[in-house]
Amino acid sequence: MKFYSTKNKQLRVRLREAVLQGLAPDGGLFMPEFIPAVDAPYLRGMTFQEIAMTLARPFTDGELSSNQLQEIIEDAFTFPVPLYPLSEDLHVLELFHGPTLAFKDFGARFMARLMAKFTVRQDRERLILVATSGDTGSAVASGFYAQPGMRVILLYPSGMVSKIQEQQLTTLGGNVTALEVDGSFDDCQRLVKQAFIDKDIREQCSLSSANSINIARLIPQSFYYAAAWSALPGSNTPLVMVVPSGNLGNLTAGLIARRMGIPILKFVSAMNANDVFLGYLEKGTFQPRPTIPTISNAMDVGNPSNYYRILDLYENDVRNLRKTVYGASFSDQDTQQAINQVYDQFNYMMDPHSAVGFLALQQFLSENKVNDWRQIILETAHPAKFKDIVESCTGRPVRIPQRLAVCLDKPKHAFTMSSLFSDFKEWLLSGAG
């Protein structure tokens, strides 16, 4: 299979080039030349790893042998993906059982191992640039840690990630360097994108991206949508998937899974105050704006990159997109109340992002009168990553898993950086860090 740029469908490359380049030379995002079809009922009874093999094989055809793909999948996905019932119709898909307690582990671990296969004979060190609003950075750092021939640079917005997230970003060391940027996530993302199209940097550095602009992050995220559907009881009633949405990579992966044949009738795109995508769904216009800091900080994105992939999937037809995607946004106060409500009603602790999802689902059900639908909310992070917030809302202590606790007492190591590209470029080309 080949992959084209969203800015030029004639620009086509193989998977290896798409993964290692991250961003197309023209600044577009890579998309598969076709979405392969799967026989969804055939997936029932499969393990997560078997589902991953079935969905990944068409994308890697001609690039990896079945044995190589199997090695990647078995090494990447060593943790459970439980579907937790809150009620008969409502389930939570817990995506936080990986090493960094966030859904980003799925994409980051798969991508790191895929890149390792593609660069095994490469003499030049590969520089992985990552902009993060919290969970992406720690997942990528963990996924690429100690991988030979790889150096990771994490850019995160100063003061706009939780303390626990910052500890995960800045304490690993080794081949992982953290940059604390004086700006927003959008500034971090802009610096990464500019680096990819800068001639001097590209000549001196062998760049790749591990953000969701990289197609290798999206492919594995489609796996858990298929796994969630296959794990539901055998009812044929309609299914709605609720996706906390920031940079829109998670939603895009779900839409790809649906296009492959996973019978998800509707997606609810749940947003916080950074609801640029909601504006597009409601008005048909996309107007990026400065990021607003919230307690669901992984969704604090004012110019979501994967909007352009969604646009491509739906051929710029917002009316058609509305048939599949419903959007809603909520305030921090709403989110705090939802964390408390979910705990009181179901004795379940939700992190702030999934609490926004819970609110969006309730609004969708109220407006559409479809209470007989099966519902799955993606639980994107362990509540311990937002311990102070969740405890203040529920009045109950949050247990910190050991793999998170180990980083809390380690010293922070991060370079400070302005949001000026000239400063970032000089830093990169100097070989600092």
CATH of the domain at 282: 3.40.50.1100
Whether 187 maps to a domain, the answer reads no
Number of neighbouring beta carbons within 10 Å of residue 419: 18
Bridge partner residues of 150 (DSSP): 126
Least confident of 28-37, 87-96, 129-138, 185-194: 129-138
Measured CA to CA, the distance from residue 168 to residue 142 in angstroms comes to 9
Mean pLDDT along residues 264-277: 97
Total domain count, the chain:
1
**Residue 268's pLDDT is what?**
98
Mean pLDDT along residues 253-282: 97
Confidence tier at 107 by pLDDT (50, 70, 90): very high
Mean pLDDT along residues 127-139: 81
Q: Which domain holds residue 96?
A: 81-103+217-399
Check whether 148 has a pLDDT greater than 90.
no
Least confident of 185-189, 317-321, 375-379: 185-189
Whether 323 maps to a domain, the answer reads yes
CA distances from residue 431 to 129, 426, 428 in whole angstroms, order as listed: 14, 9, 5
**Residue 287's pLDDT is what?**
95
Mean pLDDT along residues 176-203: 90
Check whether 433 has a pLDDT greater than 60.
no
Least confident of 100-109, 210-219, 248-257, 304-313: 210-219
Per-residue tokens: 36: 């392969």
Measured CA to CA, the distance from residue 229 to residue 42 in angstroms comes to 12
Measured CA to CA, the distance from residue 359 to residue 341 in angstroms comes to 10
**Residue 91's pLDDT is what?**
97
* Residues of the chain above pLDDT 90, percent: 71
**Residue 269's pLDDT is what?**
98
Measured CA to CA, the distance from residue 286 to residue 423 in angstroms comes to 30
**Residue 123's pLDDT is what?**
66
- The pTM of this model reads 0.90
Whether 375 maps to a domain, the answer reads yes
Whether 174 maps to a domain, the answer reads no
Measured CA to CA, the distance from residue 228 to residue 248 in angstroms comes to 19
Q: What is the pLDDT of residues 47-74, one digit of tens each?
A: 999 999 999 999 999 899 999 999 999 9
**Residue 323's pLDDT is what?**
97
* Residues of the chain above pLDDT 70, percent: 98
**Residue 21's pLDDT is what?**
87
Mean pLDDT along residues 292-312: 93
Whether 362 maps to a domain, the answer reads yes
Whether 242 maps to a domain, the answer reads yes
Measured CA to CA, the distance from residue 299 to residue 180 in angstroms comes to 18
Mean pLDDT along residues 86-97: 96
CB 145 within 8 A of CB 123: no
